[in-house]
Homo-oligomer: A and B are copies of this chain.
Amino acid sequence: MPRDPDRTRAKILAAAVTEFAANGYAGSRIDRIAARAGANKRMIYHHFGGKQDVFEAVLADRLTTESATEDLVRLWMHEALERGDGDIVGLAERRRLAVAQVESVRTAQGEGALPNDLDPSFLAMARLALDVFPLAFPQLVRVYGDNGATSNEFREAWTGFLQDWYKPRERSRAKPRLKLDRDGVARAATRPGQPRRP
């Protein structure tokens, strides 16, 4: 197989994304990244420098996406835990995306799909917070209800709830989506219109 430094670098980066998303900085292993990339460990130092540099490269590569996927949210969490809000990697690019999202909120407000008397920047952040929460804190979802955060039941119920909240004027029938059982524990009701398989 022919040499191809760019491909090697890319394979290492991809392996590092997986490793760091799964294990965080301290929990990640250079050897494991090398193994998964099918590359020699020495190549990581050759192409990136050191562990810290690989981590930063991962952040720079993957920290900006339209929709919040599980891997991305985990990287955000690791970023926050390791680095706080100082020295944000790829800030300019990320701001550009944020501004675009604020813009789309503004449009939605114009169309009556979102409350138009709230600040669009904060509203965009709030939407992000509510989207990210179940991915970031699945155990808290389980504390408030029985359905796992990744289950279809929960996802649909949560999306429905958010839509009702976002569009306060048009609250149609919107009756409780959860009911409490005898122990006072929340349980998702099947969504209306959702076929239940027998």
Interface mask (A15-27 → B, CB under 8 Å = 1, otherwise 0): 0000000011111
CA gap between A125 and B136 in the complex, in Å:
13
> In angstroms, how far is the closest chain B Cβ from the Cβ of A153?
13
Interface mask (A115-131 → B, CB under 8 Å = 1, otherwise 0): 10111111111101110
Q: Is A88 part of the binding interface, using a Cβ–Cβ cutoff of 8 Å?
A: yes
Give the interface SS of chain A, mostly helix, strand, loop or mixed: helix
Residues of B within 8 A of A126 (CB): 130, 161-162, 165
Q: Is A45 part of the binding interface, using a Cβ–Cβ cutoff of 8 Å?
A: no
Task: Select A130's contact among B26, B118, B129, B168, beta carbons within 8 Å.
Answer: B129
Residues of B within 8 A of A113 (CB): none
Interface size (A, Cβ < 8 Å)? 68
CB-based contact B133/A129 at 8 Å: yes
Also in contact, A140 and B165, with CB within 8 A (given A24-B26, A81-B77, A118-B174): no
CB-based contact B74/A81 at 8 Å: yes
Task: Select A119's contact among B80, B85, B178, beta carbons within 8 Å.
Answer: B178
CA gap between A81 and B25 in the complex, in Å:
12
CB-based contact A149/B26 at 8 Å: no
User: Can you report 25 A-B residue pairs in the complex whose CB atoms are below 8 A from each other?
Assistant: A24-B24, A76-B139, A77-B77, A77-B136, A80-B137, A80-B138, A83-B139, A85-B148, A88-B142, A91-B142, A94-B143, A102-B186, A117-B164, A122-B158, A122-B177, A123-B165, A125-B133, A125-B140, A128-B133, A128-B140, A129-B129, A129-B132, A129-B133, A130-B130, A132-B133
Interface residues of A (CB under 8 A from B): 23-27, 74, 76-81, 83-85, 88, 91, 94-95, 98-99, 102, 115, 117-126, 128-130, 132-133, 136-145, 148-149, 157-158, 161-162, 164-165, 168, 171, 174-178, 180, 183-186
